[in-house]
Every structure is written in structure tokens, then in C-alpha cells.
């Protein structure tokens, strides 16, 4: 379809030249029939060009639309399903600001290049066929417009990469300043923080200024070269006619008009190459993310398990040793408490069990009927003190796009004592700002129960709750007929646990 659209627009650069030539040839005619025929054919020709342009634009927009949908879907899949070095704000910026730039300055432009190249070559072929020497002079003059772009290409590439880097730096500082504004105000550091933001803004705008200025220089030089592209060959043509050449004045006018039509497609191609250079850094980042492999375990998932086994687990963060040959067994149905001071590795262990971190050595697996199985999200869930609540209804927050019967949803709401407070159509907003902290945790527990998982990892789940709510949440968790591994600093009643593991300094562990 794109090839058809491109070919159909080949006459775009020829229409005016053909009409000018025919008009010059009709000079002095008084035949009304010929004049009306000329006007009718000219109108049809321009109508065809207009329709061809519309068709071409629709085809280009349709292609870019499908590309953008696929790229954004791929980016979301990469952000959700793979690990990368970008923060949440950077990932959102990539999906919005960076994708807008990629759309405008790359995806559309790579279609514009072949499209307008064909539009450029159609008058070129016409000009050479009318008069080889003069046609080539007009063409060479038009091609000279590309010299500034070629000369400044490397510089534009450097400036584009620099702009991308400065914008990334600005985004990080601005995001931190907005997210941490309460901390900034409490510590009286608004002036230096705002000064730093201003510096980053100036740096980004300075980079943009020089990129824009360099582009303007390129296009200004190209415009100055217009004299070579059009006037000099036209003067040579007049000299040829004056010296008795076979060249006719209507043909010279047509050649001059066609050379005018070389300018627009050539400039479009120049602009396209310039834009493509500007977003090289963004393009590289986005396509590298699209190339990220999504890890999907092909191992069989245990439908049930007898025991969670941690064997000789070692974990370092740089030179800091967190675990050294840690081993522990948790039988199905047990309630296990892991306690210890901050930094002793309690939450790190849960992240290792979840697969959010990768151990340096050792093994974590499930035993089922004597067979070893890797852990899978179908087996376990993690409940923390700040569950994420999506913008949407309670139904969506429970299902998360999966299919469940409303009867099952209502059942789990009753089990976590939420049925009287929320119904399935209740709309939750901004990470659950319209419900309490206790309700958010109950909703997370409902998600867990809905999927009938067998192992619950609990990370400081009641740390931010008042004593009464904390006790209700803990009672609710302990009444579940599942295996529980809980991390906590302080527990009032430790007698409810089947096992207590204390993490001490210097990689010492104690079970009681």
C-alpha cells in the first residue's frame, strides 16, 4: 500500500511544470475550445495530485499508527515483565515524551524519505528527458542543497545525543524534587534544590538551542544555495536560446518550474534526516528496551508443595555480605516469623524467594512428593505494608484483567471483611487514596485468596497501621489455611508462630 501511495504521488512534482509548459505553448491562441480543454485538464491534474497526497498521508499515518501501537505495547511489556535500570518516572517519560519524539522525528520521517525521494525523481527524469545538459545542471544545483546537511551531519548527531542526555538529567532532578517536595520543605532546602533544577533546565534548553541553531544554519545555507540550483541554469538556458539552440522557451520555463518542485521534496528529505539524527539517543534506548528478553519459566509448576527449602544461600551487595550459606526449611502450613535488626537481610530474603533478586549461590525450591520445583508466582504472593492500588473499580483491582466470577470476588471480599465497606463497582483512585491503609492491605489479601495461592510472604505488613487495625490484619492472616513467612521488627505475640528465625549480625542465624 505504501509503494502504491508513493508511486501515485510521482506526479506531484510534475503537475505545475507540465501546465506551465502547455500554457507557454498556447501563448497567442484564440481557440476557446483549446483554452477550455487546457483549463479542464489542468484542474483534473491538480485534483489528482490533491487526492494522491491525501491517499499518501492516510497510508503514512496508518503505518505509523500501527508501529506506535506495537512499540508502546512492547515497551509496556518490557517495563512490566523485565528488569531494567530505569525508574518509574523514566519509564513513564519513555512511554509519553520519548514516544512522541520517536513518532514525530523518526517513524514518520523514515516513510517521508522514500516517499519524497520518488516525488523528487519524477521531475528529475522529466527534466533530463527534455534537455540533458540543462536538466542535469538544474538537478546538480538542486542536489547542492544537500551539502550542508552532509557537512553538519556528525555535529547534529552529537548535539542530538547531548540534548537527550541533558533531558534525562533534568527529568531525574525534577522528578526527585516533585516527589520529595515535603522533605525539601521540612529541611528548608528549597532554594538550593530549585537552583539545581534551574541549572538542569538551562543545560537542557542550552542543548536544544544549539541543536536548533545548527539546524537553522544548515537550512539557511541550503536556501542560499538556491541561486546555484535555479537561477544559474535558467540564465544558461536563456543564453542557449539566444544562440539559436533547439531549446524552446516553453521548455525552459517548464524546466525552471520543475526545478522549483525539486526543492520541496529535497527539503523534506533533508528535514527528515535531520530529525532522525536528533532522536538517535531516544531511538537507541527504545529499541534496546524492545529487544529485552522476557524471562518465562518453562519448568513445571507444583500444584501443591510439602516444603519450602532454602539451601546454602549466599548473597552479597558489592562487598557487603548479606547471607553466607543460609539454609532453612518451611513445611507446608507452617507460620514462620523472621526477625532481626534493620539491614540484617530479612526483606532481602523475601525478595530472593520472590525472584526479585538473584542469589550469588545456593538454591530455593519447593518439594512436592519428593520432587523439586522452582517457585512460581502461581505458588506464592507477597503482601507488604503499601500494596499498589490501580485506578479503577474494586472488581478491576481484584481481577487485574483476568477472568473471575463475581461470586468468587464477593466471596474473597467477605473473607477479608471488606464486603460491607466496598462493593465491586466502587472506584479507587490514585493508589487507593480514598480507602484506608488497612483496607488496602485487605484488598491485597483478597487478591491472594482469589488466586488460591499456598505460600504468603508478609513483609512488615502492619508497620504503618494503628494497633487495633494491625491486630485485626494479623488475626486475618493467621486464620488463613496456608503457609506464611513473615518479616517483622516487633510482634506482640510470638507464640502463634511455629518457628522463629532471628537474623543476627555477621551472618548468624538462629531458629527457635
Residues of the chain with CATH 3.40.50.300: 312-511
**pLDDT tens digits for range 229-266:** 778 888 888 888 888 888 888 888 888 888 777 777 87
Q: How far apart are CA 384 and CA 486, in angstroms?
A: 10
Instruction: Please state which of the four CATH numbers 1.20.120.10, 3.10.20.30, 3.40.50.300, 1.20.1540.10 is assigned to the domain occupying 312-511.
Output: 3.40.50.300
Number of Cα atoms under 13 Å in the Cβ half of residue 462:
18
Distance CA 183, CA 197 (A): 16
Report the top-level CATH class of 2-157+228-281.
Answer: mainly alpha
- Would strands 361-368 and 307-317 be described as parallel, antiparallel, or unpaired? antiparallel
Per the CB < 8 A criterion, the answer to whether 364 and 309 are in contact is yes
pLDDT at residue 299 in the model: 55
Q: Residue 172 belongs to what H/E stretch?
A: helix 147-179
pLDDT in tens, 27-67: 777 778 877 887 888 888 888 888 888 888 888 889 989 99
Residue 439 sits at φ, ψ, to 5 deg, of -65, -35
Residues 6+ positions from 273 with CB-CB distance below 8 Å: 109, 113, 149, 153
- CATH 1.20.1560.10 location in the chain: 2-157+228-281
Which stretches of the chain score pLDDT less than 50? 297-298, 508
Cα 48 to Cα 28: distance, rounded to the nearest angstrom: 28
Q: What are phi and psi of 170, to 5 degrees?
A: -65, -40
Sign, CA dihedral 292-294-298-304, equals: positive
Alpha-carbon gap, residue 271 to 235, rounded angstroms: 29
Alpha carbon 358 to its chain's center: 26
Q: Which residues pair with 317 in a beta bridge?
A: 320
Q: How are strands ordered across the β-sheet holding 455-459?
A: 380-384, 455-459, 483-487, 335-340, 499-504, 508-511
The CA distance from 512 to 504, in Å, is: 13
Amino acid at each position: 500500500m505504501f509503494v502504491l501511495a508513493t508511486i501515485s504521488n510521482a506526479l506531484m512534482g510534475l503537475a505545475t511544470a507540465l501546465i506551465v509548459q502547455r500554457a507557454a505553448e498556447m501563448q497567442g491562441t484564440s481557440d476557446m475550445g483549446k483554452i477550455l480543454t487546457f483549463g479542464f485538464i489542468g484542474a483534473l491534474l491538480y485534483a489528482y495530485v490533491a487526492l494522491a497526497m491525501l491517499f499518501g498521508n492516510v497510508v503514512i499515518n496508518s503505518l505509523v499508527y500501527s508501529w506506535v501501537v506495537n512499540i508502546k505495547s512492547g515497551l509496556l511489556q518490557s517495563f512490566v515483565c523485565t528488569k531494567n535500570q530505569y525508574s518509574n518516572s523514566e519509564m513513564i517519560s519513555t512511554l509519553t515524551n520519548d514516544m512522541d519524539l520517536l513518532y514525530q522525528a523518526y517513524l514518520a520521517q523514515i516513510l517521508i524519505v522514500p516517499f519524497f525521494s520518488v516525488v523528487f525523481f519524477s521531475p528529475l527524469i522529466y527534466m533530463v528527458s527534455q534537455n540533458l545538459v540543462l536538466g542535469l545542471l538544474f538537478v546538480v544545483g538542486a542536489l547542492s542543497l544537500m551539502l550542508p546537511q552532509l557537512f553538519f551531519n556528525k555535529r547534529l548527531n552529537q548535539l542530538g545525543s547531548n540534548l537527550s542526555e541533558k533531558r534525562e538529567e533534568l527529568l531525574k532532578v525534577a522528578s526527585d524534587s516533585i516527589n520529595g517536595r515535603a522533605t525539601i520543605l521540612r529541611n528548608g532546602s528549597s532554594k538550593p534544590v530549585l537552583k539545581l533544577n534551574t541549572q538542569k533546565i538551562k543545560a537542557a534548553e542550552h542543548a536544544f538551542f544549539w541543536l536548533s541553531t545548527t539546524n537553522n544554519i544548515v537550512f539557511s545555507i541550503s536556501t542560499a544555495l538556491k541561486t546555484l540550483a535555479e537561477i544559474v541554469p535558467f540564465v544558461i538556458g536563456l543564453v542557449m536560446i539566444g544562440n539559436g539552440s533547439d531549446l524552446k522557451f516553453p521548455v525552459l520555463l517548464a524546466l525552471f518550474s520543475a526545478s522549483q518542485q525539486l526543492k520541496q521534496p529535497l527539503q523534506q528529505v533533508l528535514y527528515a534526516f535531520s530529525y532522525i539524527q536528533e532522536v538517535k539517543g531516544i531511538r537507541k534506548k527504545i529499541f534496546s528496551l524492545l529487544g529485552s528478553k522476557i524471562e518465562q519459566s518453562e519448568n513445571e509448576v507444583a500444584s501443591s508443595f510439602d516444603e519450602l527449602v532454602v539451601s546454602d544461600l549466599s548473597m552479597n551487595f558489592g562487598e557487603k555480605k548479606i547471607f553466607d550459606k543460609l539454609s532453612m526449611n518451611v513445611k507446608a502450613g507452617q507460620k514462620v516469623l523472621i526477625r532481626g535488626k534493620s539491614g540484617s537481610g530479612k526483606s532481602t530474603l523475601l525478595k530472593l524467594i520472590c525472584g526479585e533478586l538473584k542469589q550469588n549461590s545456593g538454591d530455593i525450591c519447593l518439594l512436592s512428593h519428593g520432587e523439586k520445583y522452582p517457585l512460581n508466582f502461581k505458588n506464592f504472593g507477597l503482601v507488604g505494608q503499601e500494596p499498589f492500588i490501580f485506578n479503577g473499580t474494586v472488581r478491576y483491582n481484584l481481577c487485574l484483567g483476568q477472568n473471575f466470577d463475581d461470586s468468587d470476588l464477593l466471596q474473597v471480599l467477605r473473607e477479608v471483611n471488606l464486603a460491607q465497606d466496598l462493593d465491586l463497582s466502587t472506584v479507587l483512585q490514585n493508589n487507593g487514596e480514598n480507602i484506608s491503609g488497612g483496607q488496602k492491605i485487605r484488598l491485597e489479601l483478597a487478591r491472594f485468596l482469589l488466586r488460591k495461592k499456598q505460600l504468603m510472604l508478609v513483609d512488615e505488613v502492619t508497620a504503618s497501621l494503628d494497633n487495633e487495625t494491625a491486630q485485626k490484619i494479623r488475626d486475618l492472616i493467621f486464620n488463613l489455611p496456608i503457609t506464611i513467612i513473615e518479616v517483622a521488627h516487633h510482634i506482640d505475640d510470638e507464640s502463634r508462630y511455629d518457628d522463629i528465625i532471628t537474623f543476627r549480625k555477621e551472618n548468624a542465624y538462629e531458629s527457635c
